[in-house]
Amino acid sequence: MKKLLLFSILLASCGRPAVQPQSPLDRPESHYKQGLAELESGQVVLAERAFNRSRSLDDNYPGYSVGMALISLQNGEYHDARKRIDAALRKDRNFIDAHIGLGRIVSAEGVAVGRSTGAWLNEAENAYRRAEKLSDESQDVVWYWAQSYAMAGELGLAREKLQEILAVGRGKWVEKALSEVERLQKAERSAPGSRAGIEIGMKAEITRAEWAVLLVDELKLPELIRKRGDVVQTGQTSELPPDIESTWANAWIREVLAMGLMGLQVYPDGNFYPESILTRAQYAQSNQAILILLSGDKTLSHAYIGQESRFPDLRADNYAYNALALCLERGLLNIADRRTGAVNPNGSVSGAQALLAIRQLQNSFRIEY
């Protein structure tokens, strides 16, 4: 009986039995890295499967807890994400990805719940500093530190961090760092005037709701229309789409709908779809309507109709062709693929691009408020 009790204690102390590896490459670290790659590409189920395999090979491997924390982060489950990071650190205080993950979680949570920027940024910086002490050559630390600075609106500090990656000139983050520096520079040049503008300006792609906010808060389009005594389209406010009732951007969307702005109309099924990604076609249609309003030139609505298409991926008789051609010519939109000349009407628009277009409109028409 004593031997049986002793065996039970020993078995419990060993945790779950480890699965035997099927290959020299069947290691916890390998599956953890594969899980990170799957998560980055949006394959959450495959990522979770890889993380689970890492745990089955070694129950004490901290990568499992970090991987699951990142999945919780992606789902907005910040409390659970923090708990999983704590579990990883209990297994290994020197596991660098746990400290980086904590910095990412703290930053996303701080923005999401409206926590004081100074408070959450300080906590995130402390996490990144701990990671930096473990490896001062890790580009992951620098990249996510820069992302946290950008989320806090500290664009200059974010650029400085990214320059550290570019100075090395190699590594997995170099190409993304180049694009990010360009995006940050656009955001700085756009000089958003509202807090919402700053936050939206840092997004790689914006939603229909966020575009509505920028048009109201940054371009101040409703005020402009009232001053000019003009309309863009015939507004329709009698029946508001049911899906905007509980959205955070309800007030802004109502104002845009009252203007009847092309590109931001209600869909045929009666919904607005505020959280859907704004397409380049919708963005161009909105800007076309605004250009007509500001210039008074109604011929802009058909200036490019009847010509041969300029784009290999869009016919000239497409509903958005004229608006896209107009915006590209006026510098309100960039070509999507410089190699092929494709315009990608269904692609997304970054917050920086949208803000920069608003500044260009204000400067071109000398709009002052």
Question: Percentage of residues in the chain with pLDDT exceeding 70?
Answer: 88
Q: What is the mean pLDDT of the chain?
A: 87
Q: Does domain 16-190 have CATH number 1.25.40.10?
A: yes
| Residue 80 CB burial class (10 angstroms; 0-12, 13-18, ≥19) | middle
User: What is the reported pLDDT for 338?
Assistant: 86
Decide if pLDDT at 363 tops 50: yes
Q: Give the C-alpha separation, 274 to 225, whole Å.
A: 23
Q: Could you tell me if 315 and 279 are in contact, meaning their C-beta atoms sit under 8 angstroms apart?
A: no
Instruction: Identify the weakest region by mean pLDDT among 57-61, 159-163, 190-194, 305-309.
Output: 190-194
User: What is the residue extent of each domain of the chain?
Assistant: 16-190, 195-364
Decide if pLDDT at 93 tops 60: yes
Average pLDDT over residues 349-355: 89
Decide if pLDDT at 62 tops 50: yes
User: What is the reported pLDDT for 360?
Assistant: 85
Average pLDDT over residues 339-345: 93
What b/e string do you get for 35-68 counting C-beta neighbours within 10 Å, with b at 16 or more?
bbebbeeeeeeebbebbebbbbbbbebbbbbbbb
pTM of the model: 0.65
Residue 5: pLDDT band by 50, 70, 90 thresholds? very low
Decide if pLDDT at 267 tops 80: yes
User: What is the reported pLDDT for 158?
Assistant: 92
Q: Give the C-alpha separation, 8 to 204, whole Å.
A: 54
In the structure encoding, which two tokens stand for residue 47, read together?
Answer: 């990522």
Q: Could you tell me if 356 and 189 are in contact, meaning their C-beta atoms sit under 8 angstroms apart?
A: yes
Average pLDDT over residues 353-364: 86
User: What is the reported pLDDT for 85?
Assistant: 97
User: What is the reported pLDDT for 230?
Assistant: 57
Decide if pLDDT at 30 tops 70: yes
User: What is the reported pLDDT for 260?
Assistant: 87
User: What is the reported pLDDT for 160?
Assistant: 93
The predicted-structure confidence for 270-299, as pLDDT tens digits, reads as follows 999 999 999 999 999 999 999 998 888 999
The predicted-structure confidence for 144-178, as pLDDT tens digits, reads as follows 999 999 888 888 899 999 999 999 888 889 988 98
Decide if pLDDT at 186 tops 50: yes
Decide if pLDDT at 236 tops 70: no
Which residue would you say has higher pLDDT here, 191 or 130? 130
Decide if pLDDT at 244 tops 80: yes
Decide if pLDDT at 369 tops 70: no
User: What is the reported pLDDT for 1?
Assistant: 47
Q: Which of 273, 218, 223 is nearest to 249 (CA)?
A: 273
